[in-house]
Structure formats: structure tokens, C-alpha cells
Amino acid sequence: MSSEDQIFDRSWAEALVTAGLQRLSADYKGESKETLFNELRIFLTSGAEPLPAYSELAVRLGMTESTLRSHVTRLRARYREALRAEVRRTVETEAEVGEELHELLRVLTRG
């Protein structure tokens, strides 16, 4: 694969991730949970950044650790759906959605 193709693929992947995060952010804002989204977003985008300890974050947010874990689990599921929705807009069939998501993961993990 040429470096131009790799640059294109990386740009495509980053655009989808950004669109998925924006969609999810808008959803949380619409539910008056913007602060929660902003605090938990790191669990979707941490990369090399260390994740906060659940116990410390739960205290900061004024909830139990188990409630925080539930919020993070739901956030990740909603993020997957937001990414699927963004990919779905670019392809014709549901089978292609899965293929494109697989490609997205490949591109993002390639670095």
C-alpha cells in the first residue's frame, strides 16, 4: 500500500471517529448529560494517556464505582452504534458496514 493510500485511510478513519464522537456528544448534550460525556470520553479516546481509576472518578462524579462502570459500558456501546451509523451513511449494505468497521479498526491500530 502506498504512503498516499495510508494517509487517505488514516484521514478517513479519523474523520469517522470524529463524526462518531460528535454524534455521541450531541446525544449526551440533548439528554443534559454533557458533563458526564466530557468526563467519560477518555474511556473512548485515551490512546497513550492513562485512564483514570474508577474509584477516583466515581468520587469526583458523586456516584458509586458500579454506577460509573455501567455508564462507561453504556457509553462504549453507544459509541459503537454512533460509528456504525456514520459508516452506514457511506455504504449501501449492512454487510459493508461490518467490513468498513473492520477496516477502520485495522487502520487505527496500525498507527
pLDDT for 28 beyond 70: yes
The pLDDT value recorded for residue 46 is 66
Domains identified in the chain, total number: 1
The pLDDT value recorded for residue 45 is 81
The pLDDT value recorded for residue 6 is 86
pLDDT for 108 beyond 90: no
pLDDT grade for 21, boundaries at 50, 70 and 90: very high
pLDDT grade for 109, boundaries at 50, 70 and 90: confident
In degrees, rounded to 5, the angle at the alpha carbon of residue 22 between the alpha carbons of residues 105 and 60 is: 95
| CB contact set of 68 (below 8 Å; sequence gap of 6+) | 54, 57, 58, 61
Identify the domain containing residue 68 by its residue range.
3-110
